[in-house]
Amino acid sequence: MALVSVADFELKAKRNLEKNALDYYKNGAGEQVTVSLNHEAYKRLRLRPRFLRDVSHLDVSCEILGQQLQWPLGIAPSAMQKLAHPDGEIGMARAAGKAGSIYILSTLSTTSLEDLAKAAPDTCKWFQLYIYKDRHVTEQLVRRAERANFKALVVTIDTPINGDRRADAKNKFCLPSHLSLANFEGEMAQGVISCGGGSGLNEYVASHYDPSITWKDIKWLQQLTHLPVILKGILTAEDAELAREFGCSGIIVSNHGGRQLDTAPATIEALPEIVAAVGNDLVVMLDGGIMQGNDIFKALALGAKTVFIGRPALWGLATNGQAGVEQLLHVMRDDFEITMKLTGCPSLADIQPTMVVHESTYWNRH
Ligand SMILES: Cc1cc2nc3c(=O)[nH]c(=O)nc-3n(C[C@H](O)[C@H](O)[C@H](O)COP(=O)(O)O)c2cc1C
């Protein structure tokens, strides 16, 4: 079967993955309302194209926090990528590098951050961080990320506890014994095992992540490091304003792919109030539900500087390792270029907010 869309990769990936891994990758929290909203909200937005604007040459390059990128799409952090394919995080990061994209490594990776840095030296890499109850654990991760030349820290703020992921609870999700959480040693490396009869990840998060963290801990982290601090999981103008007040370099508007708080808004719905509040002061980025070129375009038009994909990259990896992710990124890049040309935008600077409207705009005029 020719793979010409993210949906094609998803179909193929689903055939290749074991149930434990597939359910973990695919599902969200609760009744999965937010998982669906992340996609449906894009379909409710209409594009208003302009024509006769010479689109024979495109330039979709951009600069994010001092990094020169070939286009405004990167790979969001997702845990345990070797569950998808033995190429795991290294395959994913190398594919991102070839595509000129950012790669964000999860704290819960199955490749250590040092091994990843060695294997993908030319990829722009950021490190995603959770704040552990034992601050020494977080501090050590920060020092290692700095030494390994990661360019930013992405602190995930939406996970004081793990979301209500029902499929993982039913499957008693755990990491197979041939894999480990490679940034850790000993018990913490084998940590995602189910002891209490439910999801092993729930148990891991409850034992190690600190649910008492506040903005004070963001300050603590900033004082610890010279790297830019980006907050991932912002969904309101209020928290975006606090991120600005606390001197963060950027934010990722994210609902964790619908895996944490169910019925939280789609990220594309939350984006406009956040851009209105802080868009001139902070780098605003977004993830969640991005499947095609149109989606990328809509997020940029509404003020995101770049977007990230979570599951689509995992579908690429599960389809054919690094080569699968490379192919997936090609498909998405081609599709984005089609949208740029058909909307009359030879560069990212030509994308205007007026080019995207909610579907109701058309009907309310009459
Ligand atoms: C299987 C899986 C594992 C994830 N693991 C992490 C993680 O370790 N840290 C984190 O901040 N976000 C994690 N996320 C959330 C992603 O970074 C991202 O916010 C989300 O996947 C974006 O939505 P999308 O999958 O619709 O693109 C994970 C997502 C998935 C699907």
* 86 marked ligand binding residue: no
The tens digit of pLDDT for each residue in 195-231 reads 777 899 999 999 999 999 999 999 999 999 999 999 9
Average pLDDT over residues 272-283: 98
* 159 marked ligand binding residue: no
Average pLDDT over residues 346-352: 98
Q: Are strands 283-287 and 250-253 parallel, antiparallel or unpaired?
A: parallel
Taking the CA of residue 106 as reference, the ligand 1 atom at the shortest distance is: 8
Least Cα distance to 232 among 307, 130, 157, 150 occurs for: 157
The tens digit of pLDDT for each residue in 221-271 reads 999 999 999 999 999 999 999 999 999 999 999 999 999 999 999 999 999
Q: Nearest residue CA, atom 14 of ligand 1?
A: 78
Q: How confident is residue 366, by pLDDT bands cut at 50, 70 and 90? A: low
Average pLDDT over residues 125-139: 97
Average pLDDT over residues 147-162: 97
- Using the mean position of ligand 1's atoms as its centre, give its distance from the Cα of residue 31 in Å: 18
> Look-up: residue for tokens 């070839």?
98
- Using the mean position of ligand 1's atoms as its centre, give its distance from the Cα of residue 118 in Å: 24
Average pLDDT over residues 97-106: 98
Specify the CATH class of 6-247+295-303+311-345 in words.
Answer: alpha beta
Least Cα distance to 302 among 279, 330, 331, 328 occurs for: 279
The stretches of the chain forming alpha helices (DSSP H) are 6-16, 19-26, 33-43, 88-98, 113-119, 135-147, 166-171, 200-208, 215-224, 237-245, 267-278, 293-301, 311-342, 360-364
* 310 marked ligand binding residue: yes
* 130 marked ligand binding residue: yes
Q: Nearest residue CA, atom 8 of ligand 1?
A: 79
pLDDT at 193 (0 to 100): 76
Q: What are the sequence ranges of the domains in the chain? A: 6-247+295-303+311-345
Pocket test for ligand 1, best of 141, 162, 259 (most atoms within 8 A of CB): 259
Active site residue 256: yes
- Using the mean position of ligand 1's atoms as its centre, give its distance from the Cα of residue 293 in Å: 20
The tens digit of pLDDT for each residue in 291-322 reads 999 999 999 999 999 999 999 999 999 999 99
Which of these is catalytic: 226, 256, 330, 358? 256
* 256 marked ligand binding residue: yes
Question: What distance in Å separates the CA atoms of residue 122 and residue 75, rounded to the nearest whole number?
Answer: 15
Pocket test for ligand 1, best of 78, 106, 131, 268 (most atoms within 8 A of CB): 78
Mean pLDDT of the chain: 96
* CB-based pocket (< 6 A), ligand 1: 24-25, 38, 76-79, 106, 108, 128, 156, 232, 254, 256-257, 259, 287-290, 309-311
191: pLDDT strictly greater than 80: no
